[in-house]
Amino acid sequence: MFPAVKDDKAESAREDTLRLDAFFDAVRDSNPFIANRITEPSRYDVDVPAIHADCFDRLVRLAEQARSRKSAIGAVLLGGAGVGKSHLLSRLYRWANEVTEDGRTRACYVYLHNILADPVRLPRYLLKYVVSRLSEGGHRPLHQTPLYRLVDQAIRHAMVAVGDKMSNLQEILDAYRACFETSAGSRDVFEVFFQFLRHARLGKADDPTRRRLASEAVAWLSGDEIDPEVARCLGLKVDGQEPVMLRDDHDVEQVLLALAQIASISKQPFILCIDQVENLDPDKLKPLARFLHALLDHASNILLIASGVKQTLLAY
């Protein structure tokens, strides 16, 4: 018998057919060519740095200015539909997440868009989203999240500032309190951040009670209700047996102020981007603008960016 002779052309044709079939399967129910806008920033977004380079450099300078001058800066990013505003904010996200020589990211960056909440709950929704992003929505152990790293760096800074070797938890807590004694943000908020790290740290991660306390600290910082007994364990002063939560927009603001202060310790500007604001109804846009204006009045180390379609916003 003669050995089988491989038909290279036939084999190549079959491979081409398989690749085409796979391609058709992939695009049968979707069209990749209509994905012309960013819905979430990503490290992997296609980018052309030369496009809107001046605007990008301007935003970076504003972020550095907010950090170095300990100021609060508001910026509005306007343009026509489809000109690349969201792509620009995604580029800023990648810049913020670049790791510097000291092992930290350049900035603490939170991006949100298409806010869906009742007008009276907008500030609380905003806070909940910010804390969720920094704690990665509970998808990872809390000691591996950006929120943990921010608080950990703040506590280490406080210990170094005192100059003495800390021998017990109370001394560390006293040094931490002294570090933020005159900072914007309520004492209760800074206390709960400390307790969050205390219970979330790696050595306590296997203790169910500690895990619950760390999660409840995140819940309270997000604006949710927590059990009064849990609140006492987190250092909050509680009277009675009613659930404990941030009471109003002022309390919500205090958490954001404290976050910006804690980020400042790590030499990171706190960048908050609110994209596609033109999708907000006027009854939502006005209370949100009032809250953000008050936040800028009281904050430091914050760059707040509001982005939207120019023609739509000018028509309000």
* 291, amino acid identity: F
**Would the pLDDT of 154 be above 70?**
yes
* pLDDT more than 90, % of the chain: 49
Q: Higher-confidence residue: 203 or 135?
A: 135
Q: Higher-confidence residue: 7 or 241?
A: 241
Q: Which phi and psi angles does 50 have, rounded to 5°?
A: -70, -25
Q: 43-100 pLDDT, tens per residue?
A: 666 667 778 889 999 999 999 999 999 999 999 988 888 777 888 999 999 999 998 8
**pLDDT value of residue 175:** 87
Please give the average per-residue pLDDT across 170-196, as a whole number: 88
Residue found under tokens 């030499």: 267
Closest CA to 136 of 161, 107, 110, 162: 110
Question: How far is it, in rounded angstroms, from Cα 172 to Cα 254?
Answer: 23
Q: 188-237 pLDDT, tens per residue?
A: 999 999 999 999 988 777 789 999 999 999 999 999 999 999 999 999 99
Which residues have CB under 8 Å from 33's CB, separation 6+? none
Question: How far is it, in rounded angstroms, from Cα 99 to Cα 109?
Answer: 13
Please give the average per-residue pLDDT across 234-252, as a whole number: 92
pLDDT band at 149, cuts 50/70/90? very high
Bridge partner list, 306: 76, 274
**Would the pLDDT of 15 be above 80?**
no
Lowest mean pLDDT among 125-129, 171-175, 260-264, 287-291: 171-175
> Which strands make up the sheet holding 108-113, listed edge to edge?
72-79, 302-309, 270-275, 108-113
Please give the average per-residue pLDDT across 139-153, as a whole number: 93
What sign results for the dihedral spanned by CA atoms 298, 151, 67, 85? negative
**pLDDT value of residue 58:** 96
Please give the average per-residue pLDDT across 116-121, as a whole number: 81
pLDDT band at 23, cuts 50/70/90? low
* DSSP-derived secondary structure for 225-237: -B-HHHHHHTT--
**Would the pLDDT of 164 be above 90?**
no
**Would the pLDDT of 12 be above 80?**
no
Residue found under tokens 């170094």: 160
Q: Considering the chain, what is the average pLDDT of its residues?
A: 84
